[in-house]
Structure 1
Amino acid sequence: MQRTTVIQQEWWDLRAEATWGNTPAGRDVVALRAENDQLRRALAGRAVIDQARGMVMVLTPCRRGAARKLLVDVSRQCDARLPEVAAAVVAAWEGKPLPAHVQRALRRTLRRFHAERDRP
């Protein structure tokens, strides 16, 4: 079992670290920094996804789940990651042209969405 104890002299300033176990402290720090970077990227992508989802909810009267499903369908059709599609939608809202493949996928997905919604 590995146990790491961190002694902090100030809230943001780490001064000493004591490690018991087989793994050197340097590997732990590298692993934690990598995880921290990954979480930062995920949170940044999530903010863009939430913004795009809100835009879809306004433009296509639907709930959160349906808006997210719509964006996921577009990302699958474009063979792109969801944050990339969301960023393209947000950029289009800000005046940049929507890439042609995203535009086609969005059009198909919206047609399908409205056809399913209008079905009795």
Structure 2
Amino acid sequence: MASTASRPLTRRTHILVDTLVIDVRREADGRAVLTPRGELVHGCAGILSRALAGVSPGSPRIDLDMARVTFMDTAALQFLDTLDAYGRRHAVPVTATGWTGQPRRILELAGLDTTDPLNPAERPARPRSTPPVSSMVAAERTEQLLLLRQELDQLREALTTRPVIDQARGILMAAHGCTSRQAWDILREVSQRSNTKLRAVAAMITTGTQPDAPPPPEEIRTALRVAIESRRL
């Protein structure tokens, strides 16, 4: 008979609400590993609270692997606050690592540590003898910062106008078999190509599905067609 001590003590719990799933696993050393999958949007903090409620009280630490989070808006800050508050309340170390893609860019823009925003590493002071950054690199960084700011502005707008945007994303997902993230990217590209606010684009797409509704303007239809074809949906 195999010894139970040699087997990892694992327990998986799946909590699903909207676009976020959190997998809870207990390792052999007792620590809890949480793996969120999906999007950190409105309601994500509540999902995390319910996942944490299923963690064994004796867990010596809580580690979150964020590598499978594909999208987040400003609701992610409440998600991190909930995790941090849990760690302080139970006197348990907590980490949130593995950030990639769009979530990592948002952390950069927000000035948070992209390795672990709850446990930021101290950045070494830059030596005075270090030569100045070339104008080409500085220009590239400025352009990247502007793009990130534009993306954050769109995220803030999406947060306040989420219902109509969610409807438009659902329509695109049903019509073209794309993912939630792909639908968001399509809406954003159409907004940029047509120089139209994201909410207005979403409203036109949503209204266009109603009986006897007029089609969206030509520039919106053209931008939508290009955005969809570029992803070969």
Q: Per-residue displacement from partner, 1:32-72 (whole Å, max 9, x unpaired)?
A: xxxxxxx9x953x2110000000000011111101100110
Q: Which residue of 2 aligns with 1:70?
A: 186
Detail structure 1 runs of 4+ shifted over 3 Å in the superposition. none
User: How many angstroms apart in 2 are the aligned matches of 1:113 and 1:79?
Assistant: 20
What is the TM-score with the length of structure 1 in the denominator?
Answer: 0.58
Superposition deviation, residue 98 in structure 1: 1.1
Match for 1:59 among 158, 164, 175?
Answer: 175
Q: Which amino acid aligns with 1:106?
A: L
- Give 1:16-95 correspondences, 5 Å limit: 43=160, 45-94=161-210, 95=213
Percent identical across equivalent pairs? Answer: 31
What are structure 1's unaligned runs of at least 5 residues?
1-38
TM-score by length of 2: 0.30
Higher RCO, 1 vs 2 (CA within 8 Å, ≥6 residues apart): 1
Q: Which residue number corresponds to residue 226 of structure 2?
A: 108
The gaps in structure 2 that reach 5 residues or longer are 1-155
Secondary structure of 1:93's aligned partner: coil
Higher helix share: 1
Structure 1: how far apart are the matches of 2:183 and 2:215? Answer: 21
Partner Cα distance (1:71, 1:54) in 2: 11
Residue 215 of structure 2 corresponds to 97
Q: How many residues align?
A: 75
Q: CA deviation at 1:96?
A: 2.1
